[in-house]
Amino acid sequence: MNDTVQVTGVSKSYGELRAVTDITCNFGAGETVALVGHNGAGKTTLIKLMLGLIRPTSGTIRVLGEDPSAGQFEARRSLGYLPENVAFNMALTGREILAFYARLKRVPLTTTDVLLERVGLDTAANRRVGTYSKGMRQRLGLAQALLGRPRVLLLDEPTTGLDPALRRSFYDIVDELRTDGATVLLSSHALTELEGRADRVVIVDNGVKIADGTIEDLRRIARLPTRIRVKVIEAPDLVDTWARAGGWRRINGRLMEVEAGPEEKIALLRSAASPDAPVADLDVIPPSLDELYAHFLSASREISE
């Protein structure tokens, strides 16, 4: 995998405030990365550094082989950026806004109508942006970020204000860009939404990178228990005897659950799948990204104390 973004030993300070401290991470072509952390953790600072809007206090950043803070940053035309809070001239129409950004990026104006349709704004393209809802302005911001089919797409809370159908459409676009070889960085609080959509997760806390890997990597490192949930048959005596032996607890009705550590999981699954077990159905629920985030955050703060 070719690295499109290289962050090496980067720190950023504002006086005595350390916004980012000694972060190193590389992002590859065709990779979707979730950048996770609470407000003030350093996510937006990292994105601004990659865009060249601010300079690192120390360390180096390369985006598509160039220094983004250099005066002549030619790779900027291959970058797409959607900020958390988009701001447009409310007196202009959606079509005029997108045409303005297309000229800045030297992208053919013929592509703007396709993008407006793609984000569901084709019927509102000639309305003033001041009449748009927050979700509509967010979609216009997404269309702006997609101009020129960027090779690196930086998205800060991209699905804010989007309804479920438009969120699905948004992730379809992300998948298409990734297939074409683009690097997509998603900074978001919607952890459940990111699960299964990101190839990799980078967790930052107080400006420090505390975890980096695939969700499977993070599950292996965290060693959190897996929940095994079963629906049992209507045989109370048999179920009670079986449940006590395996440490199962009743959730409600015929649903029962047990938490299995990495060493216990296979044995418990075999027990639940045995022909003699009073089990009608079975689900395996691995640790979620929410749970992994909470685990690494807690572990990091315990170390710092």
Last residue of a domain, one of 220, 241, 268: 220
pLDDT at position 27 is 95
| In a shared domain, residues 141 and 99 | yes
- Do 192 and 273 share a domain, yes or no? no
Domain that holds residue 167: 3-220
Asked whether residue 96 is assigned to any structural domain, the reply reads yes
Look at residue 291 and tell me if it is in a domain. no
Q: In sequence order, what DSSP letters do the residues of 39-56 get, joined into one string?
A: TTSSHHHHHHHHHTSS--
Position 53 scores a pLDDT of: 92
β-pairing, 200-205 with 17-28?
unpaired
Query: Is residue 240 located within the same domain as residue 175?
Result: no
- CA 119, CA 99: separation in Å to the nearest integer? 15
Residues 66 and 209 in one domain: yes
Residue 185 corresponds to which tokens in the numbers above? Answer: 């960085």
Q: Is residue 300 part of a domain?
A: no
pLDDT at 305: 59
Q: What is the CATH number of the domain that holds 232?
A: 3.30.70
**Token pair for 200:** 């990799």
pTM exceeds 0.85, yes or no: yes
> In this structure, are residues 211 and 179 in contact, taking their beta carbons and an 8 Å threshold?
no
For residue 298, tell me if it sits in a domain. Answer: no
Counting the structural domains of the chain, the total is: 2
Domain match, 245 and 261 both: yes
Spatial separation of the C-alpha atoms in residues 146 and 234, rounded to whole Å: 55
Tell me the average confidence (pLDDT) per consecutive run of 10 residues in the chain, 305 residues long.
Answer: 90 93 95 91 93 94 91 82 90 96 91 91 95 90 91 88 80 87 89 87 94 94 94 89 89 91 90 90 94 92 70
Question: For residue 95, what is the domain's CATH number?
Answer: 3.40.50.300
Q: What is the mean pLDDT of the chain?
A: 90
| Of residues 7, 26, 47, the one with CA closest to residue 200 | 26
Q: Which residues have a Cβ under 8 Å from the Cβ of 155 and sit 6 or more positions away?
A: 81, 82, 145, 184, 185, 186, 187, 188
Structure confidence at residue 304 (pLDDT): 65
Contact indicator for 128, 140 with CB cutoff of 8 Å:
no
Residue 280's pLDDT is 93
Is the domain of 136 the same as that of 173? yes
Cα–Cα dist 57/223, whole Å: 36
Q: How far is CA 261 from CA 192, 216, 243, in A?
A: 22, 15, 17
- Asked whether residue 257 is domain-assigned, the answer is yes
Q: Which helix H or strand E contains 283, and what residues bound it?
A: strand 279-285
Domain-located, residue 165? yes
> Residue 172's pLDDT is what?
87
8 A C-beta contact, residue 248 and residue 230: yes
CA distance 74 to 169: 30
Same domain (yes/no): 172, 276: no
201 and 289 Cβ atoms separated by less than 8 Å: yes
On whether residue 294 sits in a domain, the answer given is: no
Residues 52 and 104 in one domain: yes
Tell me: do 155 and 249 sit in the same domain. Answer: no
Structure tokens at 218: 């993070």
Residue 268 lies in a domain: yes
